C-alpha cells in the first residue's frame, strides 16, 4: 500500500484518487474549494461520471480515501503527489498554468519528506522543468523531490474503465528512480509502460489528443462530400475501420468534438507551434472544420424549416457527449445561439446535464422530459447521442411535433426507417 496525495478533485483528479484507492492505496484528495470538499465528505459528487459515486463511497467506507482542503494534512506521510488541476485555455490559445503554479508552490511549502511530484494535468512542453524550478524556489528548506510527467488518457463517460484498463501508461522524468517508482505504482493495471523524458511524455499527450481530433474532423469533412456524391459516411467509416492502420475509433461523423480536452489541447499545441516559428496548418484546419459543424447544423435546420423566424426548435441532448454532464465547449451552446440569432425559440432536454447546462444557455427553456419538450416544436435536433434517444417512442414524438422534422446531428436513427415513418429527416453524411 502506497500513500498518495491528489491535488484537484475534478474529472481527472477525483477519478485518479478513487481508482488508486480501489487498488489498495491510501489516498488523500485535496481541493481548495471548501464547498466541493464538504460535499464529497457527505458523499455528494461534484461531477457525473458512471460508476464514480459507488467507487468513491466504497473506498471512503474502507478508509482508503479521504478529502481535505489542507495541504499539510494531504502531504503528511505521502510518497507521491499528483497534480490534477485544470489548465484552461488563455485568450491567446495558450494553456493557463496558474492552478498548476499554485499547486506546486503549496506542495513545496508544506512537504516535510522526500516526494515524487507527478503532473497528471495536460501541460505545455517544458512544464515539468518549470514545476521543478517553482518547487525548489518555494521550499522553506531543501527537501529531496523529483518531477514526473504521467499524462491521463481518460474519456469522460468511461473514465473509470479507461483508468483501470489503459492502452498504455506514459511516464516521463529525468530521474530514473522516480520514473521506476511511478511505474511500480501503475503495475497493477497490467498495461504497457512507456518510460521517456519529461518533454517527450508531455508531447505524447498533446499529440495523441490532436491526432484523435484530426480523425473526427477528417470524417466530418468527408461526410459533406458523401452527401454531395450520394455515399453513406457510416458505411465508409466502417469500411475504413477494418484497416488496422486506420482503426474504427473516432470516425463517427456528426457535430464534431467538444469538452475539456480536444478543444484546448489542439489550440495549445497550435499555439506552441506558432511560438516556435512554425505554421501548424493541419492543426488550424482541424479546428476550423470542427467548429464549422455547428454553424452548418444551424444552416441545415434553417433550410429544413424554410427559415427560422418564429420557429420552435428542440435540442435532444445538451452535454458535449453522452454519459457526462460536462458542458465545456458543448456543440449545443453554439447551435442554440445560432438558432436564436436567426429568430428561433429554442428548447432543450438532457438526461443528466440540465442543471449544468442552464447557466450556459439562459435563453433556452430546459425541460425534464423529452416528450414535453417536443410538443409543439417545428423541428428536433439530435445533439448528444444518449442511448435514451435511440429508444424514444418516435410515433409519439411525431404526433407531438408541429411538423415531423428531425435533423440528426449524431446519426443515431436509420434514414430509411425515419422516412418510412413520415419524418422529414436529415442526417450527417448520409
Q: Tens of pLDDT along 116-139?
A: 999 998 899 999 999 999 999 999
What is d(CA 326, CA 317) in angstroms, rounded to the nearest whole number? Answer: 12
* pLDDT at residue 45, rounded to an integer: 96
* 3-state DSSP of 368-382: CCHHHHHCCCCEEEE
Q: Is the pLDDT of residue 94 over 90?
A: no
What is the mean predicted confidence (pLDDT) over 39-57? 96
Is the model's pLDDT at 262 over the cut of 90? yes
Is the pLDDT higher at 106 or at 91? Answer: 106
Q: Is the pLDDT of residue 425 over 90?
A: yes
Summarize the confidence of residues 299-323 as an average pLDDT: 98
List pLDDT tens digits, range 406-422.
Answer: 999 999 999 999 999 99
pLDDT one-digit tens code per residue, 151-182? 999 999 999 999 999 999 999 999 999 999 99
- Whether 112 shows a pLDDT value over 90: the answer reads yes
Delimit the domains of the chain by residue range. 3-196, 262-426
Q: Does residue 91 surpass a pLDDT of 90? A: no
In CATH terms, the superfamily for domain 262-426 is NAD(P)-binding Rossmann-like Domain (3.40.50.720)
Mean pLDDT, to the nearest integer, of 323-331? 97
Common-topology check for domains 3-196 and 262-426:
yes
- Give yes or no for residue 34 having a pLDDT over 90: yes
At 4, is the pLDDT very low, low, confident or very high (cuts 50, 70, 90)? very high
- Reply yes or no on whether 19 is catalytic: no
Report the percentage of the chain scoring pLDDT > 70: 100
pLDDT tens, position by position, 363-402: 999 999 999 999 999 999 999 999 999 999 999 999 999 9
What pLDDT is attached to residue 100?
Answer: 96
- In this structure, are residues 82 and 118 in contact, taking their beta carbons and an 8 Å threshold? yes
CA distance 127 to 125: 6
Architecture of domain 3-196: 3-Layer(aba) Sandwich (3.40)
Mean pLDDT, the chain, integer = 97
Q: What is the pLDDT of residue 8?
A: 97
Is 95's pLDDT higher than 90? Answer: no
How much is the pLDDT for 92? 83
pLDDT value at residue 93: 84
pLDDT at 89: 86
**Which residues, in sequence order, are bridge partners of residue 67?**
29
Amino acid at each position: 500500500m502506497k500513500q498518495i496525495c491528489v491535488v484537484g478533485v475534478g474529472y481527472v483528479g477525483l477519478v485518479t484518487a478513487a481508482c488508486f484507492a480501489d487498488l489498495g492505496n491510501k489516498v488523500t484528495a485535496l481541493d481548495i474549494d471548501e464547498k466541493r470538499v464538504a460535499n464529497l465528505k457527505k458523499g455528494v459528487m461534484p461531477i457525473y461520471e458512471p460508476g464514480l459515486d459507488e467507487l468513491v463511497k466504497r473506498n471512503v467506507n474502507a478508509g482508503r480515501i479521504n478529502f481535505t482542503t489542507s495541504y499539510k494534512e494531504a502531504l503528511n506521510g505521502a510518497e507521491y503527489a499528483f497534480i490534477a488541476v485544470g489548465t484552461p485555455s488563455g485568450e491567446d490559445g495558450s494553456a493557463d498554468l496558474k492552478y498548476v503554479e499554485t499547486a506546486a508552490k503549496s506542495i513545496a511549502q508544506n512537504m516535510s519528506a522526500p516526494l515524487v511530484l507527478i503532473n497528471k494535468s495536460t501541460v505545455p512542453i517544458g512544464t515539468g522543468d518549470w514545476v521543478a524550478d517553482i518547487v525548489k524556489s518555494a521550499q522553506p528548506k531543501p527537501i529531496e523531490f523529483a518531477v514526473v510527467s504521467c499524462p491521463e488518457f481518460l474519456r469522460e463517460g468511461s473514465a473509470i474503465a479507461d483508468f483501470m484498463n489503459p492502452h498504455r501508461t506514459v511516464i516521463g522524468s529525468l530521474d530514473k528512480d522516480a520514473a521506476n517508482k511511478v511505474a511500480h505504482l501503475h503495475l497493477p493495471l497490467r498495461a504497457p509502460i512507456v518510460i521517456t523524458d519529461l518533454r517527450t511524455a508531455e508531447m505524447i499527450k498533446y499529440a495523441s489528443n490532436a491526432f484523435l481530433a484530426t480523425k473526427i474532423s477528417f470524417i466530418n469533412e468527408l461526410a459533406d462530400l458523401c452527401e454531395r456524391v450520394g455515399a453513406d459516411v457510416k458505411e465508409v467509416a466502417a469500411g475504413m475501420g477494418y484497416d488496422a492502420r486506420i482503426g474504427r475509433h473516432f470516425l463517427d461523423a456528426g457535430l464534431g468534438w467538444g469538452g475539456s480536452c480536444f478543444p484546448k489541447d489542439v489550440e495549445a499545441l497550435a499555439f506552441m507551434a506558432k511560438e516556435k516559428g512554425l505554421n501548424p496548418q493541419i492543426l488550424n484546419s482541424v479546428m476550423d472544420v470542427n467548429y464549422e459543424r455547428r454553424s452548418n447544423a444551424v444552416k441545415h435546420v434553417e433550410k429544413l424549416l424554410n427559415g427560422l423566424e418564429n420557429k420552435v426548435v428542440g435540442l435532444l441532448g445538451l452535454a458535449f457527449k453522452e454519459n457526462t454532464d460536462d458542458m465545456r465547449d458543448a456543440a449545443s451552446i453554439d447551435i442554440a445561439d445560432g438558432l436564436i440569432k436567426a429568430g428561433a425559440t429554442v428548447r432543450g432536454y438532457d438526461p443528466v446535464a440540465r442543471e449544468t447546462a442552464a447557466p450556459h444557455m439562459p435563453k433556452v427553456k430546459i425541460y425534464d422530459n423529452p416528450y414535453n419538450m417536443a410538443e409543439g416544436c417545428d423541428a428536433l435536433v439530435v445533439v448528444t447521442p444518449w442511448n435514451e434517444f435511440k429508444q424514444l417512442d418516435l410515433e409519439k414524438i411525431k404526433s407531438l411535433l408541429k411538423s415531423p422534422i428531425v435533423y440528426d446531428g449524431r446519426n443515431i436513427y436509420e434514414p430509411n426507417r425515419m422516412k418510412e415513418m413520415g419524418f422529414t429527416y436529415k442526417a450527417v453524411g448520409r
